[in-house]
Chains A and B, each alone.
Chain A
Amino acid sequence: MAEFTCATHGGRSVEGVCGECGEPLCQECVDKVRDPLFDHYETEGPRRLILILLLVIGLPLLLNTFLLDALIQIRKNLIPQTIVIFNPGILHSSVIFGIALVPTLYYRTGSQYSGTVFVHRQATERILCAECANNRSQSLLYFGIVGAAVLFGLLGVYLILQSFGGGRVDLTSLRVSAIGGGLYVLRDELVYRIKMQFGKR
């Protein structure tokens, strides 16, 4: 029986195996691929929940109640054009991004210590052989989504720069960038959902 060595470069010591087919791979062949279909859960869920709450509820509330009176005063006394924080673009972006984060949030009940815990689903970096990595249409999908996210993000920035004029900044287009950000946050979840919907792998 053959020695346990790299399947492509016989004789080389094995660094890892393909996580899909189990083929032994040497250091040169080992390629780590971020696999959105191969998930694991991390405990940074609570932080994410807090972030969502801040973005969706906290920031709008803060802008509309607390700071409102104070800022109205400031607005009257100072040059109103420089105050951009009240632009609805910021508020909308915050809510869009916050809502985009929601589908990435998972929870588990019946935890030994605290009842329900929030966890965060993440794609896993794993070793795949060239063949198994190529057989996956998901990478195309993944890069498509990331590309769209980047496009949205840049488009938003472009529109903001376009509106720039006369010392006044119109942040309404920030919403477009927020959609891009949301897409980026949701990239793994989207790949996963789409692949699940249309047959695994």
Chain B
Amino acid sequence: MVEQEVHDTLQGIRVSEKLTFELEITESAYKSDQDLEGELQVYAKPNDRVIYNRRSPPKNVVTQFVAGGPHETAGFPGTNLFLALSADPIVNTEAENLGLEGITDDTTSISIDWDVDEAERLLADDERKVIYEDTYLMEQFASEDRPFVVRGELYRDAREVMENREHMRQLLKSQNRDLVSLEGLATLSITIEHKSNIPDPIHIDEFHLDMAQTFPEIDFLPFKDATYDPEHKRIEWRNRTLAPNDVLTYNILGPIEQLLGVGEVSATLKGSIEDSTMGGVRIEGIYDSTGMAVPQYPQVDKGVNIQCSIRMDPDALRGEVQTTSGSQINIPLPPEDTYERLINICQRESLHVRDRSPPSDEEPITGQEGVFSYASPGELEIKREYGDEGTVYGDITVEGRFTAVSQTNEVSAFDREQDRVIREDEGAMERRGQSQIDIRARSTSSELNARLIGIIEEGFRGGDQPALSGGA
């Protein structure tokens, strides 16, 4: 190992990336866009030896006086480095424009040479210098490759949302709020979810939200570490950490009409991921001009800076405010008959049937001889428009069991032997069939949902004594 000047002057390597992410949810557009800029910097710092090597280079005893002046040499003082880099991007680089531009060669030659005056100044100030810089760019990569997901949502019923989501429940608990205090409030929430395609946590240094309008009853969750500035209509949260697979939410609470009135909301998130890069740039080795690895590895810093701006219009989210209501009806009829009656009801009540698939693939139920069920239940997608009030969508499934013999009942009714079998089977199940109807109605209001469910329930109640035979 021959001592080279670069061994001591090479100070550190920094791979820093900047992830810019823009999300826009407005009436006219729903779009997101992300770019990644990466920068590789090599730092060097002069030492006393650097100055000595330049001020007093070795002089030949003979040629100093014969030829005059010091000569240039290749090996001394040894200012060249070969930096070997590799990249293993987290983002999918198969697409053409995602290449790591700039980092292409197997090894990059870097010269850490100094101007004596500059070296002296840097040494006096104890400063280091960026000796080499390279950048790479990953433009508009797929949103799946982004390490986090941002969602903006508006819920009419804050209580329901908070109750049903684990991370929201935990948030409430940590804030000493109970669910009752959320009753009657709607929430505009921005959710940030770590996708764990990188193993490191995301630090959210700052998250602030600007509103066009505000209102007196406005409330926030989390409340404790929020700073609200009513004058500038701004709310700010600081220093939260998002671990892999974790979810963070920022919520604005208030009555729905008021929330819809806050106008356009723009949020800015500043965060960072330490010790990790999306480009996966790795230092494979550092070699000097003798071709051997440098004895001391410099410090290598990595990090991703995240800058995210979100623009959203609560009005645009309004359409997404859907409530789902469910109902279950039990009918003592074989599923096939129930399905047909359901279609009859839909036709009678002019519910638009969008898609239908009757129950099929009957299969015996083990342990119950002569009793069958359907492997694929009957499904029905319906829709009902209520003018200005809105549209309700319904998904209905029909499941159940039946005795197969009961369906051949009419054919073989005169056969005494068969008749006995039928009775036996009926005894086993106590009736010829049993169906269960599941209705899930979706619309912007639970009232509309209830109306749709009501129509169907009413339709079946009309035939409260469903003792009629299957094919009627």
Contacts and interface: CB of A to CB of B under 8 A. Distances in A.
Contact of A102 (B57, B61, B104): B61
Interface residues of B, number: 43
Contacts of A128: 291
A15 to B, nearest CB: 9
A108 B51 CA distance: 13
Interface stretch (A82-90, A117-125, A155-163): A117-125
A164 interface: no
B61 A106 contact: yes
A184 B130 CA distance: 44
A111 B290 contact: no
B86 A1 contact: yes
B52 A14 contact: no
A39 B57 contact: no
Interface of B, secondary structure class, is: loop
Contacts of B52: 108, 110-112
A108 B56 contact: yes
Contacts of B82: 17, 22
Interface residues of A, number: 41
A45 to B, nearest CB: 9
B60 interface: yes
Given A14-B284, A39-B73, A127 B109 contact: no
Given A1-B87, A1-B100, A107-B61, A124 B290 contact: yes
B292 A16 contact: yes
A196 to B, nearest CB: 7
Contact of A125 (B62, B84, B106, B290): B290
B76 A1 contact: no
Nearest to B86: A4
B76 A4 contact: no
B290 A19 contact: yes
B285 interface: yes
A96 to B, nearest CB: 15
A37 B107 contact: no
B56 A37 contact: no
A46 B65 CA distance: 20
A75 to B, nearest CB: 38
A24 to B, nearest CB: 6
Interface in B90-148: 100, 103-109
Nearest to A17: B287
Nearest to B83: A22
A191 to B, nearest CB: 12
A2 B73 CA distance: 35
A191 B447 CA distance: 97
B287 A109 contact: no
A105 interface: yes
B293 A16 contact: yes
A170 interface: no
Contacts of B295: none
Interface string A10-25: 0000101111101111
A38 interface: yes
Nearest to B56: A110
B74 A7 contact: no
Interface of A: 1-4, 7, 14, 16-20, 22-25, 30, 35, 37-41, 102-103, 105-112, 119, 121, 124-128, 196, 200
14 contacts: A1-B87, A4-B86, A14-B84, A14-B284, A17-B107, A19-B288, A19-B289, A22-B106, A39-B73, A40-B4, A103-B63, A108-B59, A112-B52, A127-B292
